[in-house]
Amino acid sequence: MAEQEENSMIGYDPLAWMHEAEEEESPTRSAPLSAALPDDSAIFDDDMADAGVETEPGAALNAADLQPSADAETTGRIILEPLQNIQTVSQLHQQLRCMLDSCNKIDIDASAVSQIDTATLQLLLVLKLTAVKLRKEVNIDFPSEKFMEAADLLGVSEMLSVDQAVSGFF
């Protein structure tokens, strides 16, 4: 797909993902938690709502004119809570694991993060690396200043490919 015809002067086609992104028409998966936690999935469901697993990417942004996106159909989305620490990390781990099983692409909205610990950053890093192995995609979108600071401090912002272009605007 990324390769061009033989006599083209262009080898690897960096835009190929645009067509591939259109082709993957898998329906939205919010994490199917029952599979991971058969025993008390009902309780977990409530917790999950608190933790902000959403199919609407605009939900954590407070500008009134920000609306859910049209491509919410194809990807798993998760919105990080303001406080990410050792208390929340295992729950986040569960959610991400389920999403990784069921989605080809996970978008993580980090715009609301005001505090994030190393455990959570490590989790995100492992997620990112695992996703690469599974040929899946994980994006960390709109990271807040605090998120960026923490990632920079740990020296993982590059590995997390935290997108400078859309960081800190919200």
Partner 1 sequence: MTSRIVAVLNQKGGVGKTTTTVNLAHALARMGKKITVIDFDPQSHLAVALGVVSKQQTGIDEIMLGHATFTQQQIPVRENLNLIVAGPRLQEIEQLRESGSHRGDLLRKALAPGTDDRDLIFIDCPPSSGILVANALFAAEELLVPMTSDYLALQGLSHLMGTIKKFEAVLNKKYRLQIVMSRYIPTRRLSKDVVSTLKKYFPQQILATPVRETAALAECPSFGKTVFEYRPGWRSAKDFEALAGDFLAGRMM
CB of 126 to partner 1, least distance (A): 23
Structure tokens at 73: 């159909």
Least Cβ distance, residue 50 to partner 1 (angstroms): 22
Considering the complex, state which of residue 39 and residue 165 has its C-beta at the smaller distance from partner 1: 165
Q: Which residues bind partner 1 (CB under 8 A)?
A: 4, 8-10, 13-15, 17-19, 57-58, 61, 63, 65-72, 141-142, 144-146, 163-166, 168-170
* CA 165/CA 81 separation, integer angstroms: 22
Q: Which amino acid appears at position 91 of this protein?
A: Q
Q: How far apart, in whole angstroms, are the C-alpha atoms of residue 74 and residue 120?
A: 25
What are the b/e assignments for 13-33, b being 16+ CB within 10 Å?
eeeeeeeeeeeeeeeebbbeb
Q: How far is the CB of 165 from partner 1 (least distance, A)?
A: 4
Of the two residues 33 and 140, which places its CB atom closer to partner 1 in the complex? Answer: 140
Shortest spacing between CB 161 and partner 1, in angstroms? 10
